[in-house]
Structure 1
């Protein structure tokens, strides 16, 4: 996580389009002592883009950049499945997980949120599905020459199940009735955003936008007093275009969809999102779902769980739980957009 970039973020003309696009407002003018600065760099196999409202102070920017790098390195060293030396990889490598295993506070925080979302979604979100994800070629294992057969899927599914995990808060620890391979790829980016937010707030930064791989969290307002404007992408893989714009001055937003990470085999497209019930990639008509929540870790996990559930089930659950969710559904070659009542106040005209 090196090669940071520092530059004035001319929000009037620049935008970042990823799973979530950052939309610019035209015609902004800032006082000299108050600008939006961007700090950017590689992380988690993607990139981070952080906008902070600061005076033109090169030393402050450099210190912030170094601190952000350290924070993200700590998250990666704890929660990556791509690093053999990470805390999570060491946990996954234990053949016997039946006794309490001490874990760090951050890892416990993520695991606890993951289990809560698993329970809420009836297992649609499940961090133990990693072995099946790997079997389909969307994890550290090599992509298979052929799609998995029923026997292979059954064997790996039998080893999964978030219900097998048990967590202890004090001191933080985990154990499993049957040893598990845990994959935090659907929640760790969100946690990384929240970790950076905590660092910025402790450093006295009050107005910011933090984005990692499309998961984003904001606070405060831009120098002209306007809210941060974020765009939900149209769920098409061939191009980048906007479906809807939202305005936030706090909270987090995350999107999950089946239109970016996939591969094709023998004329069929296989999404990276795996249904824990079947062990197979999702095949329903929900193209993407965006969730707004108090923190990015929760928004990230909920968006993935809702994406697995499909529109009808997810919309009913989100409405019942007063969760702000926005759904884009495939209909007759086009798209329909729907949102829960809790999402309405965030939409721009």
Structure 2
């Protein structure tokens, strides 16, 4: 009897099985793929790592110098140019926010921190939680302007954005695009979280 824990069998005619993994986003990525072509595992691992590292450098709430944190610290009403990938993720997050009527909201960075998650490293701020709970909340999509033509973003109110609910998914997409560009078509990629 096969279970979901058994390793997958190779798709017919696809060649050798490879398994690569490495650190990313405070966790790890993994890629399992089959290919009949000869491959340089180290080169593929380097490309996969570079793909997810780029996402992490742009979208991490943990890295003080990330593009996301640069946006978080930008003055209200100031336009800020952001990398194309970050722009795409912000655009997708705002679309999901509107479609979910604000149930999905990237404007929860202050709340995440107050509860001790993310860079707060377990330090719960009960006073900040009470303050935030007493304020009327509107989703970030109500206060974030995106200018695709110029690749820039503007906050109309002070916001602390957190992309933890979407950035890893984008990272997984980047892993898949990386393997697609290499001509590898039989794969499973993921980022633990």
Q: How far is the alpha carbon of 1:72 from its aligned partner?
A: 1.1
RMSD: 2.8
Residue-pair matches, total = 192
| Residue equivalent to 1:71 | 51
Whole-Å separation in 1 of the counterparts to 2:10 and 2:145: 53
Q: Does structure 1 residue 196 correspond to structure 2 residue 175?
A: yes
Q: TM-score when scaled to structure 2?
A: 0.87
Query: How does 1:1-349 map onto structure 2 within 5 Å?
Result: 23-24=5-6, 28=9, 34-55=15-36, 57=38, 59-94=39-74, 96-144=75-123, 147-148=126-127, 151-154=130-133, 161-213=140-192
**Post-superposition CA distance 1:316-344 (Å, at most 9, x none):** xxxxxxxxxxxxxxxxxxxxxxxxxxxxx
- Which runs of no fewer than 5 residues in structure 2 stay unpaired? none
User: Which protein has the bigger helix share?
Assistant: 2
8 Å contact kept, 1:132–1:153:
yes
Q: How far is the alpha carbon of 1:56 from its aligned partner?
A: 7.2
Whole-Å separation in 1 of the counterparts to 2:72 and 2:128: 25
Whole-Å separation in 2 of the counterparts to 1:144 and 1:50: 34
Q: How far is the alpha carbon of 1:164 from its aligned partner?
A: 0.6
Q: Whose relative contact order is higher, 1 or 2, with alpha carbons under 8 Å and at least 6 apart?
A: 2
- Which runs of no fewer than 5 residues in structure 1 stay unpaired? 1-12, 16-21, 215-349
**Post-superposition CA distance 1:224-262 (Å, at most 9, x none):** xxxxxxxxxxxxxxxxxxxxxxxxxxxxxxxxxxxxxxx
Q: How far is the alpha carbon of 1:163 from its aligned partner?
A: 0.7
User: Which protein has the bigger strand share?
Assistant: 1
| Residue equivalent to 1:252 | none
